[in-house]
């Protein structure tokens, strides 16, 4: 341009897309993977993940949903742990089956205090194994997001399978605006594996919202604490990632009993140390994920056509 005759100078300005502009561009380019308007009434999507199994991720998800609901939030839970689905049992839904509405969308089942729940466990025989490869997983997850009438939600919590496999990558492609919460236990081996899950989230451009340390100690009915899994793993991971440590959730006997019984400890025993820790995590999550805009916007209305034709003579 500088070489064009008559041009004496050139100024170049650089700008950065806002989060909303980046999300809109991603959807336009097909990177979001979901049609325009999907999840249009869902304000925040939070993926709950871990590096390895056995850290209590599903229990944390169920109780976090209960804690958010107890604070007046509209909450949904998507059980994306296809091989280890457990939300139907943890939320007391048993062998119920979802129905289809007039718009041919699945209606989530309602758990305690109106928590909307969808799981592959609703469509297979109880305790049946699910043996699926990548393409089938991708299609199933897309249908759970696109073909389920989630309605208006403040939070949709997604219970991920452990590790960094197909499900996590699929959800990152379908929901680039989602946030990621890591669950770990205090011992170093769990913390190091959770760090790998965090690296996966970073590579997939998912924002890490925080860390929850589960089983931080065993608390007896008399109130004694025993750090049977060590201490400090969650705090160290949060420091490494420069994100908040949302809570340190202890292991208690009522927590274990209520998880198997289908009633989150937050509802059944709100004074339990584990329930109070999860309530603290919910408050932290609310503070760092304010409800501003739906995660997937409704399609923009088409612009009105401009009038065309001959100009009329003016008197």
Extract long-range pairs of 165-171: CB within 8 Å, 24+ residues apart. Answer: 166/134, 166/137, 166/138, 167/80, 167/81, 167/82, 167/137, 167/141, 168/47, 168/49, 168/197, 168/200, 168/201, 168/204, 169/200, 169/204, 170/137, 170/138, 170/141, 170/142, 171/47, 171/80, 171/141
pLDDT tens-digit series, residues 171-181: 777 887 889 99
pTM, rounded to two decimals:
0.78
- Name the pLDDT band for 20 (thresholds 50, 70, 90): low
Is the per-residue pLDDT at 301 higher than 80?
Answer: no
Is the per-residue pLDDT at 310 higher than 70?
Answer: no
Mean pLDDT of the chain, nearest integer:
81
Is the per-residue pLDDT at 222 higher than 60?
Answer: yes
Residues 171-194, mean pLDDT to the nearest whole number:
85
Count of beta carbons in the 10 Å neighbourhood of residue 45:
25
Fold of domain 34-288? Rossmann fold (3.40.50)
The more confidently predicted of residues 80 and 108 is 108
pLDDT tens-digit series, residues 35-91: 655 677 899 999 998 877 788 899 999 999 999 999 999 999 999 887 778 898 999
pLDDT tens-digit series, residues 234-290: 999 999 999 999 999 999 999 988 888 899 999 999 999 999 999 999 999 999 876
Cα–Cα distance measured from residue 48 to residue 54, given in angstroms and rounded to the nearest whole number: 14
């Amino acid at each position: 341009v500088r070489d064009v005759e008559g041009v004496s100078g050139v100024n170049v300005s650089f700008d950065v897309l806002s989060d909303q502009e980046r999300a809109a561009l991603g959807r336009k380019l097909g990177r979001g993977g979901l049609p325009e308007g999907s999840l249009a009434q869902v304000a925040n999507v939070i993926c709950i993940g871990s590096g390895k199994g056995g850290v209590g991720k599903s229990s944390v998800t169920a109780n976090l949903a209960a804690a958010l609901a107890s604070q007046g939030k509209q909450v949904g839970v998507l059980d994306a742990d296809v091989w280890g689905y457990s939300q139907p049992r943890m939320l007391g839904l048993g062998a119920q089956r979802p129905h289809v509405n007039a718009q041919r969308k699945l209606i989530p089942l309602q758990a305690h205090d109106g928590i909307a729940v969808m799981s592959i466990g609703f469509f297979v025989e109880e305790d049946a194994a699910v043996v699926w490869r990548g393409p089938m997983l991708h299609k199933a997850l897309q249908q759970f997001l696109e073909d389920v009438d989630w309605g208006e939600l403040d939070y949709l919590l997604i219970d991920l399978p452990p590790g960094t496999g197909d499900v996590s990558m699929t959800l990152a492609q379908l929901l680039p605006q989602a946030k990621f919460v890591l669950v770990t236990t205090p011992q170093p081996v769990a913390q190091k594996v959770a760090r790998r899950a965090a690296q996966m989230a970073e590579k997939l451009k998912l924002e890490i919202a925080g860390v929850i340390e589960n089983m931080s100690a065993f608390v007896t009915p008399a109130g004694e604490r025993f750090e049977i899994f060590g201490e400090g793993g969650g705090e160290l991971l949060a420091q490494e990632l420069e994100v908040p440590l949302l809570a340190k959730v202890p292991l208690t006997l009522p927590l274990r009993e209520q998880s198997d019984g289908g009633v989150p400890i937050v509802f059944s025993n709100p004074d339990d140390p584990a329930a109070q820790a999860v309530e603290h995590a919910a408050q932290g999550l609310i503070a760092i994920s304010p409800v501003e805009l739906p995660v997937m916007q409704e399609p923009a209305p088409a612009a009105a056509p401009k009038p065309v034709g001959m100009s009329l003579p003016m008197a």
